[in-house]
Amino acid sequence: MENIPGTNILDEVTQGDYKFGFYTDIENDTAPRGLTEDTIRFISAKKEEPEWMLASRLKAFRHWLTLKEPEWAHVHYPAINYQNIIYYAAPKKKEYASLDEIDPELLETFNKLGISLDEQKKLTGVAVDAVIDSVSVKTTFQDTLGKHGVIFCSFSEAVRNHPELIQKYMGSVVPYTDNYFAALNSAVFSDGSFCFIPKGVRCPLELSTYFRINAANTGQFERTLIVAEDSSYVSYMEGCTAPMRDENQLHAAIVEIVAMDDAEVKYSTVQNWYPGDKNGLGGVYNFVTKRGLCKGRNSKISWTQVETGSAITWKYPSCVLMGDNSVGEFYSVAVTNHYQQADTGTKMIHIGKNTRSTIISKGISAGKSNNSYRGLVKILPAAANSRNFSQCDSLLLGDRCGAHTFPYIQARNETSIVEHEATTSKISEDQLFYCKQRGIDTEKAIGLIVNGYAKEVLNKLPMEFAVEAQKLLAITLEGSVG
């Protein structure tokens, strides 16, 4: 049966609730509003940083002052007043030797998010670093990991305890000169996670960091650095949420990954920052630079992301395939509803010989949202026999949302092969009715259809994340049809 005009049930857009919109009332230590060299000195002093770290921040700040905010992304938002943001907010007490010392409110926050910081209770074998606003409050399983020589700690701790590693690797993949938001982050970054997997070690636990913006008017500028030495392996997961607020909040993070010879890093994200309400009020601006360097031969970095949150997403997890035979992968599901805007994709830079990359991007747009895929596949002259395969699919729910694909291909080696496929489809009334006729209600039907569509990507997520992501997809689109 054809679509029946005037009765398009995909037409009606109502509210799907954001589950993580609560705010925790905890005592905060905050920097004064605005951004000057003094702000940076304040942050650095709070963190009791060595002189070299402060110098590096100031260098980045001075560079940032010379830059202009990028405008090429397919997103629209009012100008950000960088002087109106608080660049540092931390629960009063900074680090906790034991769980008992943590503010019960804070513990409750993580419980509500479904994140257990209690190692005794944790049976799933996931080590967690929990970052709230500008500081890491707790990293679990450090002892277990330590026995294997794995370092997993907050970035601040790493600056103090492993300065040689930080100095060697920080900025080696994403230099402060990389882009506007990277420069900003390099100047004001607060906390984040550091992982180091020594040679030959297969990390015995999944590592994961949960980021939570809590305080009002506060930007979140975290930094993650993962270093995988020769023949090591790690799977790392990142999750994030924020309270519901009417004003927009800025999140500008940097993630750097380095993989040496035969090393493999799997990086999974479920991004669920507050997306704003159904009228487009509030929500997080998510401007993130994520890049992995396959430095060694036969190294592999794969990015898997499920993007359901944020008012605006500007994010291109990328791989620089330097080592011969290295492999880069990007699997993405990006969902936008209501007035959300996402401009996301990846860059695969082939430098070494026989390098391979795979890009699978699944965009899902509902409501009045805009969802763009932007990807660059660049094959340098030395990258003989390199290969890329890209597949970019868009799924539309209703007819007031947009899906756009911007694939850029620069192939400068004749022996390389680059393939690109793209499709756009809609959830049809027929599919919905078919499900309903089998007793499945509209919301469940959409969840089912969307999860089916995104299956290829969801399958790449670690088990415990995949289940969460499936639920999240369904929740995000809850109420996206009448």
Ligand X SMILES: Nc1ncnc2c1ncn2[C@@H]1O[C@H](COP(=O)(O)OP(=O)(O)O)[C@@H](O)[C@H]1O
Q: How far is the CB of 447 from other proteins (least distance, A)?
A: 9
Given a contact cutoff of 8 angstroms between Cβ atoms, the answer to whether 317 and 347 are in contact is no
Report which of 366, 272, 364, 254 is spatially closest to residue 311, judged by C-alpha positions.
272
In the complex, the smallest distance separating the C-beta of residue 232 from other proteins, rounded to whole angstroms, is 34
428 binds other proteins (CB under 8 A): yes
Give the nearest distance from C-beta 307 to other proteins in angstroms: 18
> Tell me, what amino acid is at 332?
S
Instruction: Give 29 or 429: the residue with its C-beta nearer to ligand X.
Output: 429
Smallest distance, Å, CB 15 to other proteins?
Answer: 20
Nearer to ligand X, 8 or 424 (CB): 8
The footprint of ligand X (CB under 6 A) covers 1-2, 4
Which is closer to ligand X, CB of 1 or CB of 123? 1
Of 436, 432, 370, 379, which Cα lies nearest the Cα of 406? 370
Q: Which does 7 bind (CB under 5 to 8 A by kind): ligand X, other proteins, none?
A: other proteins
Q: Determine, following the binding rule CB under 8 A, whether residue 438 of this chain makes contact with other proteins.
A: yes
Among 5, 25, 51, 120, binds other proteins (CB under 8 A): 5
Which partner from the list ligand X, other proteins, none does 429 bind, CB cut-off 5 to 8 Å by kind?
other proteins
What is the total count of residues that contact other proteins (CB under 8 A)? 29
Out of ligand X, other proteins, none, which partner does residue 2 contact, by CB within 5 to 8 A per kind? ligand X
In the complex, the smallest distance separating the C-beta of residue 390 from other proteins, rounded to whole angstroms, is 19
Q: Which does 17 bind (CB under 5 to 8 A by kind): other proteins, ligand X, none?
A: none
31 interacts with other proteins by CB under 8 A: no
Reference 181, options 31, 67, 88; nearest CA is: 67
Where on the chain is the footprint of other proteins (CB under 8 A)?
1, 4-7, 9, 428-431, 433-442, 444, 448-449, 451-456
